[in-house]
Structure 1
Amino acid sequence: MKKKFFFFDIDNTLAVWPDGIIPASAQETLDTLKANGHRVALATGRLQKDAKRFADLANVTDFVADGGKSVTINNEIIFMEGMDREACVRYITHLEERGLHWAVTDVNELVRVTPYETVLQWHPDWDVFKTVYDPTFDYRQVEHFYKIYAFMTPEQEERKQVVHMTTDLIRYGENCILFEPMVKAEGVRRMIAHYGMKPEDVVVFGDGYNDLSMFSPEWLNIAMGNGREELKAAADYITSDCKRDGIYEACKNFGWI
């Protein structure tokens, strides 16, 4: 059997969100793929530090994180960069001019920082990041923007005529809009180049909007049954739901396990 390189999104692909529980059949499939000589990696929008926490649980040492903007191989970061700095500064200035509050993650830690004390009140139960209030925080001095959180109601968004930094945004909990990189295929290409493998050797699994950035005609694209309709339309194969043995079903169907 020709050896493949598998890349699995985490939330609602490999693990059931928000609890992050990997179905037993999915974990057994990952272990069997590796035992059969295939390579296995994660590919997630999570911050590298957050992805590392999950990779340890899944017994995986290679992963693309930060939506494609970081690559970790054998648990060592070989590449990591933030979003376009100038675009981030312009966007936060845009929010400031409209009196809207924000927070940023500017280090590889499970932390977001904000100069607005009111942001401390926003903390969904499923969110693992700690919010730090720093009234002296100056976004113009930030070197790396890994995530930006913009806080506004839909009414404020319309009335204040907010022009977002990009259309690639995530409605993240109540009255919060999250921006993070969505270029997963870039990270996949960096990793396969490191290992000297070819695009045709790649298989990717995903479910969400940001996984569209990982689907490519260069390799095999598999959507979960619980995935977004846009992703299913772009998929080469649609498997069962994440919590209904979807990872196992696809890998069994193609004879990889």
Structure 2
Amino acid sequence: MKRKYFFFDIDGTLTSSKVFNLVPESTKRALCALEAQGHFVAIATGRAHFRAKEFAQEHGIQNMVCEGGNGLYFGGKLIAYEPLADDLAIAIMKKAEALGFPLAVSLTDDRIRLTKDERFVKQCPGAQGFVELQVEPHLDLDALHHIRRFMIAMRPDEEAKLPEIKQIGMMRYDDSFVIVEPDDKYKGILRMVKEAGGDPQDIVVFGDGLNDRKMFEQAPFSIAMGNAIPQLKMLANYVSDDSDHDGIWNACVHFNWIEPK
């Protein structure tokens, strides 16, 4: 059997769509079976490296595209990382400030987000358990370098005021803020397959959410979970069952990548 290069989103794909970070037993068996057949198995996630690394190590996964395509974790080590373009990120943040939207910016590979005052803290209580907010009154946007991602305190109906964020990418987990971060996982997938000495035509991607859209548009073969958003299902070559009902296992059996047991 020709070697395939499988890339799996984490949330809602490898994990349950109902229970955070819970990986179904059938999914674990599928990943082990794929590797036993000689296939390449990797994660493709928008998560920051430190968050994704914890998940990968817990589940024994050695390869990962993280940071929305800007980070490569190969053989259990981070081998490449590309921060945001400073000029673009700073220009967007300065415009957000001019519009009155508080900010919180990430410069390090951890939960810390820097913000100028208490406004972001007060306007985005939902961010408190997700990140560690540190108030830095003298934070100078023009002096920032190696920006990893940033958060803007604005509602969904205010996003049209900052169309520039689409030049980077965005995710929203709460109505009070948006996270501006890379979302081209497929860029990292191509780099990973090259690193592994593979053929891009043998790439298979699995996903369920909005930040999987670009890799579904570009990958030669894509599989949407049953719990995926409608836009992704329309782009997919195949739609499997949802993540809580053996979606990955069933898809791999369907295409004879693993044997049913």
Q: TM-score range, shorter-chain basis? A: over 0.9
Q: 1:177 to 1:251 in 2, by over 3 A?
A: same
Task: State whether structure 2 residue 250 is matched by structure 1 residue 249.
Answer: yes
**Gap change, CA 1:229 and 1:38, over 3 Å in 2:** same
Mapping for residues 157-196 of structure 1, pairs under 5 Å: 157=158, 162-167=161-166, 168-196=169-197
Question: Does the 8 Å contact 1:120/1:132 carry over to 2?
Answer: no
Q: Which aligned pairs between 1:200-239 and structure 2 lie closer than 5 A? A: 200-216=201-217, 218-239=219-240
User: Which residue of 2 is the match for residue 64 of structure 1?
Assistant: 65
SS in structure 1 at match of 2:10? coil
TM-score, normalization by structure 1:
0.92
Instruction: Assess if the C-alpha contact under 8 Å between 2:6 and 2:39 holds in 1.
Output: yes
Deviation at 1:197, TM superposition (A): 0.3
1:9 and 2:15 aligned: no
- Which amino acid counterpart does residue 240 of structure 1 have in structure 2? D
Task: Tell me how far apart the structure 1 counterparts of residues 243 and 128 of structure 2 sit (CA, whole Å).
Answer: 19
Percent identity between matched residues is: 34
Q: Which moved more, 1:43-52 or 1:165-174?
A: 165-174
Partner of 1:96: 97
- Structure 1: segments with no counterpart, 5+ residues: none
CA contact (8 A) 1:103 1:112 kept: yes
TM-score (norm 2): 0.91
Deviation at 1:127, TM superposition (A): 4.7
- Cα 1:42–1:176 change in 2 (3 A) is same
Q: Is the 8 A contact 2:8 2:206 kept in 1?
A: yes
1:175-222 Cα offsets, whole Å, 9 max, x none, are: 101111011111000000011100121111011111111124552111
Conservation of the 8 A alpha-carbon contact between 1:148 and 1:180 = yes
Residues 1:221 and 1:153: Cα distance change in structure 2 (over 3 Å): closer
Report the CA distance shift for 1:126/1:101 in structure 2 as closer, same or farther (over 3 A).
closer
Contiguous gaps of at least 5 residues in structure 2: none
* 1:105 Cα deviation from its structure 2 partner: 1.1
What is the SS of the residue equivalent to 1:11? helix
Match of 1:142 in 2: 144
The CA RMSD over aligned residues, in Å, is 1.9
Q: Mark the CA change 1:126 to 1:250 in structure 2 (over 3 Å): closer, same or farther.
A: farther
Q: Runs of 4+ in structure 1 displaced over 4 angstroms?
A: none
